Amino acid sequence: MEGRPRMTILERSLHERPWGREDLPSAYHAGGRRIGEVWHQHPDARLPVLVKSTFTSQRLSVQVHPDDDAARRAGLSSGKEEWWLVTAASADAVLGIGLKAPVAAEALRLAALDGSIIDLMEWFPVRAGDFFHIPPGTVHAIGPEVEIIEVQQNADVTYRIFDYGRGRELHLDAGLALARRVPHPPELRGRLPEIGFDAEAPGCLRAARISPCGMSRQPHLPRCRKVSFRLCRWPGSWRLQIGSSAPDG
Ligand SMILES: [Zn+2]
């Protein structure tokens, strides 16, 4: 990853989800299917980064992801850290990220069981350009009628701790053991006001540079605390540049 950064065209695949949408931008060629996620994967499978466009019509489950250490203890290759960029949102769209105030472990367990965890979570009203870094362990949930781009570690490891009684499997013990029972740190969120959001427009019009910490244990990424991404929207796809910023010790 040293040297001059290159833009890479990511390989796209569409994934149907019950909470997805049938009205995707035409560039995605969704053909009326109910698509919830469009994955944009790096053609080099050794690069463990997944860029995901998520389109919602309903609220998603409340969940937690492990960090690398916890994932390896569970026999998985890596944990999951996420960066979210809101690219479109309805007027009352919200994202649930972290808790309103610190909560004791047992209280959080009871709240997950009876659904009142929703009231303990912080729900941020969002609009296009809002940006959130979601460290592993963050209790989070995506609301309805929102479109976000997620840059995340390419690991299929999600612990669902509340699902609005929809009957899917929960992973309460694993998720609650890792949950950060505190508010989301304000320095991990912000706005990228320079970005435009015309989903149909061609060209590299919208570039997001995000350079949070993390992923430093991944063998194919710089061993530093600043991994920067630049995402450019193309018609129906995204290009990704991973910066080769110097390690800062
Ligand atoms: Zn997640």
Instruction: Look at the alpha carbons of 165, 170, 174, 175 in this order and tell me if their dihedral is positive or negative.
Output: negative
Check residue 238 and give its pLDDT: 56
Query: Averaged over 70-94, what is the pLDDT?
Result: 88
Residue 12, token pair as written in the block:
């796209």
- pTM for the predicted model, two decimal places: 0.80
Pairing of strands 49-55, 35-41: antiparallel
Average pLDDT of the segment spanning 120-148: 92
- The two three-digit tokens of residue 19, written as one number: 């909470």
Q: Decide if 239 contacts 231 (C-beta within 8 A).
A: yes
CA 4 / ligand 1 centre spacing (Å): 31
Write out pLDDT tens, residues 91-128: 999 999 999 999 999 999 999 999 999 999 999 999 98
Q: For residue 61, give the 3-state DSSP assignment.
A: coil
Query: What is the distance in A from the centroid of ligand 1 to the CA of 204?
Result: 27
Among 167, 176, 183, which residue's Cα sits nearest to residue 63?
A: 176
Q: How far are the Cα atoms of 60, 87, 144, 168, 210 from residue 148, in angstroms, in the given order?
A: 13, 5, 11, 23, 15
Q: Please report, for the chain, the start and end positions of each structural domain, with discontinuous segments joined by +.
A: 7-196
d(CA 123, CA 193): 21
Distance 9 CA to ligand 1 centre (A): 24
Ligand 1 geometric centre to CA of 92 (Å):
21
pLDDT tens per residue across span 180-221: 999 999 888 877 654 444 444 433 333 344 433 333 333 333
Distance from residue 150's CA to the centre of ligand 1 (Å)? 9
Residue of 21, 160, 206, 233 marked active site: 160
Q: Are 214 and 135 in contact (CB under 8 A)?
A: yes
Mean pLDDT of the chain: 78
Percent of the chain topping pLDDT 70: 72
CATH code for residues 7-196: 2.60.120.10
Residue 64 alpha carbon to ligand 1 centre in Å: 7
160 is catalytic: yes
CA of 140 to the centre of ligand 1 (A): 7
CA-CA distance, 189 to 191, in Å (whole number)? 7
